[in-house]
Amino acid sequence: MNTDRREKTMNNHDERTLLEVNGLTKSYLDFQLRDVNIQVPAGTIMGFLGRNGAGKSTMMKAIMDLIKRDEGDIRVLGMSMPEEEVAVKEQVGYVGDTPLLNNAWTMERTLSFARHFYPNWDQEAVDRNLERFQVPFDKKISELSKGMKVKASLILAMAHQPKLLLLDEPTSGLDPVVRTEVLELLLDFVQDESRGVLFSSHITSDVEKIADWVTVINDGEILFSEDKESLLDRYRRIVIPGNGGGKAVETPLLFNCQSTMGGYVGYTDRFDRFQKVASGKWRSERLTLEELFVLLTGRKGE
């Protein structure tokens, strides 16, 4: 695409939106990604949670056009994928579920090869990150530990100063120290608020730690995509002590109600409303993201 057209396309979209996915579908023999709609605004870290096989990698690959979607519209900074693929890839750093690094090459060779493809290559940032993470320059990729490989992949993905990082389980299989380093790198990345990150994970505590937006996918469908704080505010565990709780749990504002030794326990996804209408004795407990994730995805389909 010529520069004028690209600038026009980029100027016509809402500059605060880095990624828009609308009506994305993809069918395999025994799996369907169904009508996926998400938006990643600039300045946001979106945690993308889902159980094994829920469709996280499929969605990310479809965004990068590594697999052909059946339907849907994908835009990065207002530019369409795959029609404007070259321009889009200048704005995206992608690390997929299978690392793209060539095992037989050193990091030095990898970087000096890759820099020719990107006009925005930032060698100073690369050097800074190599130093920060102590990634060996002259060892073959095959000789690096898993943690080092992840760091090397991230340094490479960020080297061309993308606006959007798309990372498929970047912290999986890493020890807590390396995981923390990787999370800090992502937080640093969005210090520039024109940037954003979408990262998938099973590790709910990582998402809870750094994401400001949480998207949960279950069996190919987005359950919700919401600001983390408002999500954790509106869901609560409600504990109703004593025998008198039976009537209280009949409210449609509670679900998954169970009687316990000391009374009743239920959950609400409209805590604001519940507070206004609930009578009698009760108390609320805030859920961790892990508890919420298990509550909403744990028993479905089993």
If one asks whether residue 117 binds ligand ATP (CB under 6 A), the answer comes out as: no
Among 17, 31, 136, 212, binds ligand ATP (CB under 6 A): 31
If one asks whether residue 242 binds ligand ATP (CB under 6 A), the answer comes out as: no
If one asks whether residue 55 binds ligand ATP (CB under 6 A), the answer comes out as: yes
Q: Interacting stretch for ligand ATP, rule CB under 6 A, among 15-23, 27-35, 208-216, 254-262?
A: 27-35
Q: Interacting stretch for ligand ATP, rule CB under 6 A, among 47-55, 69-77, 175-183, 246-254?
A: 47-55
Residues contacting residue 229 through CB under 8 Å, at least 6 positions apart:
212
If one asks whether residue 245 binds ligand ATP (CB under 6 A), the answer comes out as: no
If one asks whether residue 198 binds ligand ATP (CB under 6 A), the answer comes out as: no
Among 39, 44, 58, 297, binds ligand ATP (CB under 6 A): 58
In whole angstroms, the minimum distance from the beta carbon of 96 to ligand ATP comes to 10
If one asks whether residue 50 binds ligand ATP (CB under 6 A), the answer comes out as: yes
In whole angstroms, the minimum distance from the beta carbon of 266 to ligand ATP comes to 29
If one asks whether residue 52 binds ligand ATP (CB under 6 A), the answer comes out as: yes
Q: Closest Cα partner for 132 from 146, 107, 151?
A: 151
In whole angstroms, the minimum distance from the beta carbon of 244 to ligand ATP comes to 43
Which stretches of the chain bind ligand ATP, using CB under 6 A?
Answer: 28-29, 31, 50, 52-58
